[in-house]
């Protein structure tokens, strides 16, 4: 695997090492430098948080950051919750929202929110997520260090979420204008939805994560997968199949590579 960072500084943010331009560096201590143009996006130190707790205006869900993350790293956070009311209206301080509002409705009885942040060293090991109501819920979240991403314009496109009952849901396709990686993520009302199968006619997915959290009928099971995409291409639709029938929400978004 190519160099991810040097002394905690993301490679994408390094312009030179010992006065040698990054474009002239083939390797450091025997580890290859990323190829010209940054290479494909990769996800490093994928970290899962599963919680069963009361969450509210003063009772946050504390989401764990990757243990290896350091200053300059670009971190993606994907948050799913069993929630019929979409009460996640306050975005975590210092994080940028990717989807314009929480994906989900009372019909899905599960919601998804997506954020990113370029770390500056003030974050600590977790970050808090609040809701506008007090309730006991199951929560599954992932954070990951994203390498070879365009940190200036990182989000290529955000799709429209699908909401469905039953055992299947189809995430709508999106036109992706940039080279990069697209992600399909789903959240299912109940901890009994997994394992999920993802089927996309145009792409073979790599597994990102899958997990569940449950408390007295207020559970959630969620998963995400990803694939490299060429600018100007369509993602095609993704059919996601759960083990049982219930409400669910799913969608695509794409990251732009460096």
pLDDT digit string (tens) for the chain, length 258 residues: 455 566 655 555 565 566 565 545 656 666 655 554 569 999 999 999 999 999 999 999 999 999 999 999 999 999 999 988 877 878 899 999 999 888 999 999 999 999 999 999 999 999 999 988 888 899 999 999 999 999 999 999 999 999 999 999 999 999 999 999 999 999 999 999 999 999 999 999 999 999 999 866 669 999 999 999 999 999 999 999 999 999 999 999 999 999
Per-residue confidence (pLDDT) for residue 71, from 0 to 100 = 95
Return the half-sphere exposure (C-beta side, CA atoms, 13 A cut-off) of residue 255. 26
Structure tokens at 142: 């992932």
Residue-range domain boundaries for the chain: 5-256
Identify whether the C-beta of residue 186 lies closer than 8 Å to the C-beta of residue 258: no
Cβ atoms 229, 180 nearer than 8 A: yes
Phi-psi category of 177—alpha, beta or left, where left has phi over 0 and alpha has psi -120 to 50? alpha
Residue pair 135/55 in contact (Cβ under 8 Å)? The answer is yes
Q: Please state the pTM of the whole predicted model.
A: 0.85
Burial call 220-246: b when 16+ CB within 10 Å, e when fewer? bbbbbbbbebeeebebbbbbbebeeeb
The two most distant CA atoms of the chain are separated, in Å, by 59
CB 56 within 8 A of CB 27: no
């Amino acid at each position: 695997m190519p160099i991810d960072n040097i002394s905690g500084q993301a490679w994408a943010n390094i312009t030179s090492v010992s006065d040698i331009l990054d474009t002239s560096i083939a390797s450091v201590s025997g580890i290859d430098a990323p190829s010209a143009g940054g290479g494909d996006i990769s996800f490093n130190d994928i970290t899962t948080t599963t919680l069963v707790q009361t969450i509210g205006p003063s009772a946050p869900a504390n989401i764990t950051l990757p243990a290896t993350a350091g200053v300059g790293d670009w971190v993606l956070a994907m948050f799913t919750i069993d929630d019929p009311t979409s009460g996640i209206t306050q975005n975590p301080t210092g994080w940028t929202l990717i989807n314009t509002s929480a994906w989900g409705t009372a019909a899905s009885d599960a919601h998804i929110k997506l954020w990113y942040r370029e770390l500056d060293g003030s974050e600590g090991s977790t970050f808090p997520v609040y809701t506008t109501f007090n309730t006991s819920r199951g929560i599954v979240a992932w954070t990951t260090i994203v390498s070879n991403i365009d940190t200036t314009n990182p989000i290529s496109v955000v799709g429209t979420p699908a909401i469905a009952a039953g055992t299947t849901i189809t995430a709508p396709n999106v036109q992706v204008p940039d080279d990069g990686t697209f992600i399909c993520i789903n959240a299912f009302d109940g901890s009994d939805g997994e394992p999920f199968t993802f089927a996309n006619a145009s792409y073979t997915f790599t597994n990102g994560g899958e997990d569940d959290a449950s408390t007295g009928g207020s559970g959630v099971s969620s998963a995400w997968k990803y694939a490299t995409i060429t600018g100007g291409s369509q993602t095609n639709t993704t059919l996601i199949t759960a083990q049982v029938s219930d409400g669910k929400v799913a969608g695509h978004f794409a990251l732009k590579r460096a």
